[in-house]
Amino acid sequence: MTDKIEKKGAPGSETVEVLGATFEEGKPDSVEAGKWRQKMGSRAEKLKYLETAERYWYAKESYGSEKRKKPA
């Protein structure tokens, strides 16, 4: 993939070279991409996956935004 360089105006100078988009457009290869629920076997595995993904809220050693270290 070649880098796209665009020329744009900038304050204090006439034109500046700016690097354009550096990604390749595309879509997922399979229909199954992103369907994590079907990959898990039991309810316990699904809950463990969610607790790992949402460890900000469920972690024992840290506190989410609604939790306090000391009760009011």
In this predicted model, what pLDDT tens digit does every residue of 10-42 receive, in sequence order? 787 788 888 888 877 777 777 777 787 888 889
Residue 72: what pLDDT? 61
Q: What is the DSSP letter of 46?
A: H
Q: What is the DSSP letter of 22?
A: -
Q: What is the DSSP letter of 68?
A: -
Residues 6+ apart with CB under 8 A from 36: 49
Three-state DSSP at 53 gives helix
Residue 66: what pLDDT? 59
